[in-house]
Every structure is written in structure tokens, then in C-alpha cells.
Structure 1
Amino acid sequence: MSDNSDNQTQATGGRLVLDVVVYTFARLVLVVALTAAIYYIAKLIGISEFPLIVALLFAIVLALPLGIWLLAPLRKRATASIASVDERRRRDREQLQARLRGQDKKPEKD
């Protein structure tokens, strides 16, 4: 393998990690924001003994469908990064298998 291919793989892998971390962080922020909203809305309407854990559980349930809708661009970017890394690994594996069989398969250009 060439250094250029290794650098591209590392860059794509780094992009994958960044995209997945950003998406995960956005999901967590959504849950925290919903928890705070539910908790303080309950306080505003007069429920003084509203447990925080109940607000958190409601927030998790609400964040599941909301996250799919609100965070679609982040999810699509993370999915595209995963697909890119999978494609590169598949291509590298095919090239290795061809070399092991004795077929001198030239790497394809991107």
C-alpha cells in the first residue's frame, strides 16, 4: 500500500470519528434540553415534587423520534462517513486477496 492510501484511510477514519462524535453529542444535548424543559414546565404548572428521573425518562422517549427528524443531516453525514470507510476497507481487502492469489491487481484510482 502506498503512503497516500494510508493517509486517505486515516483522514477518512478521522472524519468518521468526528461525524459520529458530533451526532452522539447532539443526541445527548437533545435529551438534556428536553429533560430541562419537561422538569421546568412541570414546576411552572405547579407540580413542586416532580422527580428529575421522570423528566429524564420522558425526555429519552421523546428524543428518539425527535432526534431522527431534527438531526437528520448529522445522521446522514455520519452514515456517509461509515459507508466511505467500509468501501475503502472492502477495496483494500479485495486487493490483498488478489495479491495473495498471485493476481497482480492494480489499485483503482479514487
Structure 2
Amino acid sequence: MSEPQTAAGRSTLARDLTLYLLARFGLIVVVAAVLVLVKVPLLVALAVGIVVGLPVGLLAFRGLNARVTAGLAARNERRAKERAKLRAELRESE
């Protein structure tokens, strides 16, 4: 029974992480595009887009960031339990 939950958890984490990354990169592109439209050189616009877009993305996509963080924490907890179980099995076999 735990295998379907694990697969669903992985797909949810993958989806949330992908959405979060795309949203943050999209915000950088939007900031850079607006600057290019007002005649700022492309490289300068991209640099400003990164400097402005990344912190703003942390604030703007806070809910999605929380879901990604929770998913990563759950995955790390699950992996720690599996590692502890494997270590216990290895100790028993010695």
C-alpha cells in the first residue's frame, strides 16, 4: 500500500518543483522583457531580471515554495527511514 503513495508523492513533488522553477524563471523573463521594451540592453535586462526576479519570486510564489519544501522534507524523512531500516538489516546479518 505504501508504494502508490510514494509514487504519488514523487509525482506531486516533481510537478510542484517544475511549476515553481518555471514560475521563477518566467518572472525573470518577464522583468527582462519589460526592460528590453524600454530600450535597456538585453544583457543588462537579464542581469536586472535575475537580481530583481529571484527575490520577488520567493515572495510571489510563497505557497508553491511551501509545497515544494514540504515535499522535499517528506522525501528526506522517508529516505532516512529507509536508510535506518537497511542499516538495521545489515547489522542483523553480521
Scaled by the length of structure 1, the TM-score of the pair is 0.74
Structure 2's unaligned 5+ residue stretches are none
Q: What value does the CA root-mean-square deviation take over the aligned residues?
A: 1.7
Q: Which has the higher helix share?
A: 2
Task: Give the Cα–Cα distance (whole angstroms) in 2 for the partners of residues 97 and 52 of structure 1.
Answer: 53
> Quick one: which of 82, 87, 94 aligns to 1:92?
82
Structure 1 segments, 4+ long, off by >4 Å, are: none
> Quick one: which of 2, 7, 12 aligns to 2:9?
12
Task: Give the Cα–Cα distance (whole angstroms) in 1 for the partners of residues 6 and 86 of structure 2.
Answer: 15
Scaled by the length of structure 2, the TM-score of the pair is 0.85
Task: Give the Cα–Cα distance (whole angstroms) in 1 for the partners of residues 70 and 42 of structure 2.
Answer: 36
Tell me what 2:32 maps to: 35
The number of aligned residues is 93
Contact 1:9 1:88 in 2 (8 A): no
Following superposition, the deviation at residue 89 of structure 1 comes to 1.0
Task: Give the Cα–Cα distance (whole angstroms) in 1 for the partners of residues 27 and 11 of structure 2.
Answer: 24
> Computing the radius of gyration over CA atoms, which structure comes out larger, 1 or 2?
1
Contact 1:39 1:52 in 2 (8 A): yes
